[in-house]
Amino acid sequence: MSESPVPHEPPIYRRIADGLRARILAGELRDGDRLPGENALMAEYAIARATARQALAVLINEGLAVPRRGSGVYVRLFKPIRRHGARRLSREQWGQGRAIWDADTHGRPFTVDHLEVARERASEHVAGILDSAEVWARRRRYSVDARPVQLAASYFPAHLVQDSAITLTDTGPGGVYARLGDLGAAPAHFTEEVRARMPQPRESALLDLPGGTPVIAITRTAYTSGGLPVEVNEMVLDSAAYVLQYDFDA
């Protein structure tokens, strides 16, 4: 009679990460607490520095911890933002002067801490969608609970939005979609393409991403009721900060 195979024990760095994760999820290690450093893990478990580094990297890549240069690795607990694809873009939201982000954050503080607005030549991709060689571009970085979570770049046909509030830093109640409505070009239909990828170096720096963290790239196009494209919005989201919700009828 053959014996059942003995399951392989996970490698030591995984067991260390599992133990630290359990302490975080149990509340023993709280948001902002410093995790045991490489030297402490080496002494406690009699392991090499590379193994200790692997253990901490597991938690960093899971989004449960963040390294601070010259200081150590710290617990970073963050309640994910629930992004409801359809609800946040409803006319009821922006048509009544509310920000789209209010639908995502549900009262949590959010800020736009980087904002650039400029008229520029459109990329070939954007020009092909908007049928406009010149666009007004709005580039932003959004932070929630003081954590950078999203980069966004919106492009509008220059001839459509020239001299409107869309070319200003403050677009007023309801944001750019309300202002498009003022111009007689209110969005009535949206399409979004969603994919996951690794971040570019600039994106990693702006979003303060731990090494190995992927991003969610979303490209949204807004159309009027007559089918005219009036905006292309290219967004890059910290994947560890979001839950994407989509509802469907059977």
Kindly report the average pLDDT of the chain as a whole number. 87
Please tell me the least confidently modeled range out of 34-38, 55-59, 61-65, 214-218.
Answer: 61-65
Residue-wise pLDDT tens digits, 211-222: 778 999 999 999
Residue-wise pLDDT tens digits, 89-141: 555 555 555 566 566 666 677 888 889 999 999 999 999 999 999 999 999 99
Distances (CA, A) of 113 to 58, 60, 155, 175: 30, 24, 19, 16
According to the model, what pLDDT value does residue 202 have?
Answer: 95
Query: Domain 81-245 - what CATH class?
Result: alpha beta
Cα 217 versus chain centre, distance: 8
In the chain, where does the domain assigned CATH 3.40.1410.10 lie? 81-245
CB under 8 Å to 125, separation ≥6 — which residues? none
According to the model, what pLDDT value does residue 113 have?
Answer: 87
Query: Can you tell me the distance from the alpha carbon of 131 to that of 232, in angstroms, rounded to the nearest whole number?
Result: 11
Q: Which of 18-27, 73-82, 117-126, 203-212 has the highest mean pLDDT?
A: 117-126
Query: DSSP 3-state assignment of 212?
Result: coil
Backbone dihedral angles phi then psi of residue 171, each to the nearest 5 degrees: -90, -5
| CATH domain 12-75 topology | Arc Repressor Mutant, subunit A (1.10.10)
Query: Can you tell me the distance from the alpha carbon of 171 to that of 174, in angstroms, rounded to the nearest whole number?
Result: 8
Indicate if the pLDDT at residue 201 is higher than 70: yes
Tokens, residue 197: 């990828």
Query: Can you tell me the distance from the alpha carbon of 57 to that of 51, in angstroms, rounded to the nearest whole number?
Result: 10
Backbone dihedral angles phi then psi of residue 123, each to the nearest 5 degrees: -65, 165
Strand partners, 84: 245
According to the model, what pLDDT value does residue 83 have?
Answer: 80
Among candidate residues 236, 218, 232, the one with its CA nearest the CA of residue 122: 232
Indicate if the pLDDT at residue 175 is higher than 70: yes
In the chain, where does the domain assigned CATH 1.10.10.10 lie? 12-75
Tokens, residue 237: 């989201």
- Residue 2: pLDDT band (50, 70, 90) is low
Tokens, residue 71: 């200081």
